[in-house]
């Protein structure tokens, strides 16, 4: 333990500090760490101990997360889980001889002991939870989880067998007990425990309405969540923040919309099976080499300090595999009544994550969250960001539908910023609104677009264009005519044109919608424009989108 804490851990810290930011650890360093772990296991086994504590000690001294912890997990996960673990279970099965169980009364007594132990754990959890005024259901779930047994118990039993502390009969009984216990508890937890379906103690009005940009007061406080994958996402998010509130507070104090941005740094750690979303305060410490989270948080706080009190930043850090992140973020959005969540989409110029896990996160957010979700395809800014002088060029494609109305609502907020130039391109499809539902949707589109034009009739920074399209080809030509001078193009995911939505099956990234997928293509506008695709939780999304696992 002392050798690992005072010799190995400082060496690991030096390896991490010498690794360039954003780069993986050298292959030789990973091999050295694995060999040291094996060597410690061999030494402890040679002196009569167990190989398990050596691996546990190394796991404790290796810093979690990137760059070293993630690299070791990624390098070792495949061969461990796909090769060595199956071989180990085959070996366990080979040593488990059910014919040695002759006294079935003793076997049943062993089963009764396991059941009593599980019930005792559940009762203990209920007593503890009741003293803390927490729900009994969660106490039962915790008791069941604590009753689970895994590979540690099986390895220990196998070692006892090698040391002849237990016979074949006892070993077979233990293995059958572990298998039976997990086979009963795990399905129960999967069927009953549905954290995303828990009803939060919130008014129904907040859960069913007022969770969109259109229904949020333009002069009231706007709370929204923005997720940051890496430091490169920060300038685009800060520019979008700056574009959505007036620059000069003294000009019209009543026309001020304060912002409270909940900034969540997404730290994908495959080995971290339990999602952790917690306020981040480490940026307050004096680090010699700030981490990625520190740099992200400090950048947002620096922007808030120059916002004349209009912007408040609440920093968080999410540590979890991507496939589990959406649960905690959805709960946070319900708690703070956020009408908007902005999440990163991978940069198509750099390729996407190797296993598609970030896309799974995006899909889960779109399918489950009860507000407007914006997928940001970040290509950087055409004009550099500055705290003293700010300029921003935004385009909005308005075809029609609930998602496009959210895009226009975002443009309405941005139209009050004098340094933001907005071009709204409305595409009117001829003869595509035959049903009563289509006519109602079109009336809503006309009303909102008319209000937007009336609000900005004297605003020289806002340009409204209307293009009549007779077919899908005309519509495609219209938004492909956009130049590459825009910092951001905002568009809805779904539209009220069945012919356009029929093309979704041909889209490379369906989560962006037909138009968003076209705009995000590397060959569109030379791949220079960032794209924000908005989807509101109402309408067809609940039928089309399903969470991924």
Is 50 exceeded by the pLDDT of residue 197?
no
Distant-in-sequence, close-in-space partners of 442: CB < 8 Å, separation ≥ 6:
400, 433, 496
Helices (H), 24-167: 27-46, 51-61, 68-79, 85-95, 104-131, 136-147, 151-162
Domain range holding 172? Answer: 98-193
333 within a domain of the structure (yes/no): yes
Confidence of residue 398 (pLDDT cuts 50, 70, 90): very high
| Rounded distance between C-alpha atoms, residue 402 and residue 415, angstroms | 20
Is 60 exceeded by the pLDDT of residue 138?
yes
Give, for 267, the enclosing helix (H) or strand (E): strand 259-268
Residue pair 332/321 in contact by the 8 Å Cβ criterion: no
DSSP-based three-state secondary structure for 162? helix
Distant-in-sequence, close-in-space partners of 427: CB < 8 Å, separation ≥ 6:
397, 398, 399, 467, 469, 475, 478, 479
Distant-in-sequence, close-in-space partners of 230: CB < 8 Å, separation ≥ 6:
22, 292, 344
Please state, as a whole number, how many other Cβ atoms lie within 10 Å of the Cβ of residue 24: 16
Q: Are residues 41 and 121 in the same domain?
A: no
pLDDT at 404: 92
Distant-in-sequence, close-in-space partners of 518: CB < 8 Å, separation ≥ 6:
476, 479, 480, 524
Nearest to 328 by CA among 189, 185, 203, 225: 225
pLDDT at 385: 61
Confidence of residue 27 (pLDDT cuts 50, 70, 90): confident
> Taking CA 545 as the corner, what is the angle to CA 540 and CA 548, rounded to the nearest 5 degrees?
170
| Rounded distance between C-alpha atoms, residue 294 and residue 206, angstroms | 33
Q: Are residues 185 and 216 in the same domain?
A: no
198 within a domain of the structure (yes/no): no
Average pLDDT value for residue range 39-44: 84
Q: Are residues 131 and 58 in the same domain?
A: no
Is 80 exceeded by the pLDDT of residue 504?
yes
The pTM for the full model equals 0.74
219 within a domain of the structure (yes/no): yes
| Rounded distance between C-alpha atoms, residue 54 and residue 195, angstroms | 36
If you search the block for the tokens 């889980």, which residue do you land on? 81
Token pair for residue 476?
């495609």
Residue pair 402/375 in contact by the 8 Å Cβ criterion: no
More confident residue, 297 or 479: 297
226 within a domain of the structure (yes/no): yes
Q: Are residues 376 and 392 in the same domain?
A: yes
Nearest to 244 by CA among 412, 421, 453: 412
Distant-in-sequence, close-in-space partners of 413: CB < 8 Å, separation ≥ 6:
213, 218, 222, 244, 245, 257
Q: Are residues 111 and 7 in the same domain?
A: no
Confidence of residue 203 (pLDDT cuts 50, 70, 90): very low
CATH number at residue 226: 3.40.50
DSSP-based three-state secondary structure for 458? coil
Is 70 exceeded by the pLDDT of residue 196?
no
Please state, as a whole number, how many other Cβ atoms lie within 10 Å of the Cβ of residue 233: 22
Token pair for residue 38?
């094996």
Average pLDDT value for residue range 11-25: 80
Is 80 exceeded by the pLDDT of residue 402?
yes
Q: Are residues 307 and 366 in the same domain?
A: yes
Q: Are residues 225 and 115 in the same domain?
A: no
DSSP-based three-state secondary structure for 363? helix
Token pair for residue 534?
């908005």
474 within a domain of the structure (yes/no): yes
pLDDT at 226: 94
Q: How far is CA 393 from CA 186, 205, 237, 331, in A?
A: 53, 36, 14, 34
Residue pair 265/293 in contact by the 8 Å Cβ criterion: yes
CB contact burial 92-119 (16+ within 10 A = b; e otherwise): beeebeeeebeeeeebeeeeeebeeebe
For the chain, helix, strand, coil in percent to 5 are 55, 15, 30
Please state, as a whole number, how many other Cβ atoms lie within 10 Å of the Cβ of residue 548: 15
- Among candidate residues 46, 77, 95, the one where a domain is terminated: 95
Confidence of residue 539 (pLDDT cuts 50, 70, 90): low
Q: Are residues 375 and 463 in the same domain?
A: yes
If you search the block for the tokens 């094996």, which residue do you land on? 38
- Among candidate residues 168, 193, 218, the one where a domain is terminated: 193
436 within a domain of the structure (yes/no): yes
Q: Are residues 221 and 72 in the same domain?
A: no
More confident residue, 147 or 1: 147
337 within a domain of the structure (yes/no): yes
- Among candidate residues 173, 193, 213, the one where a domain is terminated: 193
| Rounded distance between C-alpha atoms, residue 19 and residue 26, angstroms | 8
Q: Are residues 261 and 389 in the same domain?
A: yes
More confident residue, 506 or 380: 506
pLDDT at 431: 67
199 within a domain of the structure (yes/no): no
Is 90 exceeded by the pLDDT of residue 54?
no
Q: How far is CA 309 from CA 206, 254, 413, in A?
A: 26, 14, 18
Residue 467, CB-side half-sphere exposure with 13 Å CA sphere: 21
State how many domains the chain has: 3
Q: Are residues 18 and 47 in the same domain?
A: yes
DSSP-based three-state secondary structure for 80? helix
Please state, as a whole number, how many other Cβ atoms lie within 10 Å of the Cβ of residue 38: 13
pLDDT at 408: 94
Please state, as a whole number, how many other Cβ atoms lie within 10 Å of the Cβ of residue 182: 14
Q: Are residues 106 and 46 in the same domain?
A: no
Q: At what angle do helices 151-162 and 85-95 cross, to 10 degrees?
A: 50
């Amino acid at each position: 333990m002392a050798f690992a804490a005072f010799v190995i851990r400082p060496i690991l810290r030096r390896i991490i500090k010498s690794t360039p930011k954003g780069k993986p650890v050298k292959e030789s360093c990973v091999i050295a760490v694995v060999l040291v772990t094996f060597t410690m296991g061999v030494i402890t086994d040679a002196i009569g101990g167990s190989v398990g504590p050596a691996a546990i000690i190394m796991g404790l001294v290796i810093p979690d997360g990137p760059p070293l912890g993630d690299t070791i997990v990624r390098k070792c996960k495949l061969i461990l889980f796909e090769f060595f673990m199956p071989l180990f279970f085959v070996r366990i099965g080979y040593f488990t001889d059910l014919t040695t169980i002759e006294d079935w009364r003793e076997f049943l007594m062993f089963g009764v002991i396991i059941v009593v132990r599980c019930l005792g754990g559940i009762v203990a959890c209920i007593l503890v939870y009741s003293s803390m005024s927490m729900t009994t259901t969660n106490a039962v779930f915790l008791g069941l989880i604590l009753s689970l047994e895994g590979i540690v118990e099986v390895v220990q039993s196998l070692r006892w067998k090698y040391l002849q502390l237990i016979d074949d009969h006892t070993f077979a009984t233990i293995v059958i007990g572990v298998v039976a216990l997990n086979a009963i508890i795990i399905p129960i937890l999967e069927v009953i425990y549905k954290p995303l379906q828990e009803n939060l103690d919130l008014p129904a009005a907040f859960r069913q309405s007022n969770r969109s940009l259109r229904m949020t007061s333009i002069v009231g406080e706007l709370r929204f969540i923005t997720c940051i994958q890496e430091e490169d996402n920060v300038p685009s998010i800060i520019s979008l923040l700056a574009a959505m509130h007036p620059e000069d507070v003294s000009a019209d104090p009543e026309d001020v919309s304060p912002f409270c941005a909940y900034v969540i740094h997404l730290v994908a750690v495959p080995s971290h099976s339990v999602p952790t979303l917690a306020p981040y305060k480490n940026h307050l410490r004096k680090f010699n080499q700030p981490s990625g989270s520190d740099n992200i948080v400090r950048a947002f706080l620096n922007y808030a300090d120059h916002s004349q009190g209009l912007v408040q930043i609440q920093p968080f850090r999410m540590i979890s595999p991507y496939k589990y992140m959406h649960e905690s973020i959805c709960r946070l959005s319900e708690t703070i009544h956020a009408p908007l969540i902005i999440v990163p989409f991978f940069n198509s110029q750099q390729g996407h994550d190797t296993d598609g896990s970030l896309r799974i996160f995006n899909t889960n957010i779109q399918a489950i969250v009860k507000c407007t979700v914006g997928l940001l395809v970040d290509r950087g800014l055409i004009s550099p960001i500055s705290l003293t002088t700010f300029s921003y060029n935004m385009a909005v494609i308005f075809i029609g539908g609930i998602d496009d109305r959210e895009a226009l609502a975002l443009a309405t907020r941005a139209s009050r910023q004098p340094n933001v130039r907005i071009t709204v391109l409305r595409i009117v499809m001829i003869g595509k609104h035959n049903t009563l539902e289509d006519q109602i949707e079109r009336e809503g589109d006309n009303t909102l677009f008319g209000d937007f034009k009336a609000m900005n009739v004297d605003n020289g920074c806002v340009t409204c264009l209307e293009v009549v399209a007779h077919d899908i080809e005309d519509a495609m030509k219209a938004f492909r005519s956009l130049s590459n001078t825009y910092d951001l193009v905002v568009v809805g995911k779904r539209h009220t044109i069945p012919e356009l939505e029929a093309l979704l099956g041909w889209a490379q990234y369906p989560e962006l919608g037909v138009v968003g997928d076209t705009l995000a293509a590397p060959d569109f506008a030379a791949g220079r424009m960032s794209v924000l695709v908005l989807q509101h939780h109402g309408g067809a999304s609940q039928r089309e989108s399903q969470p991924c696992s």
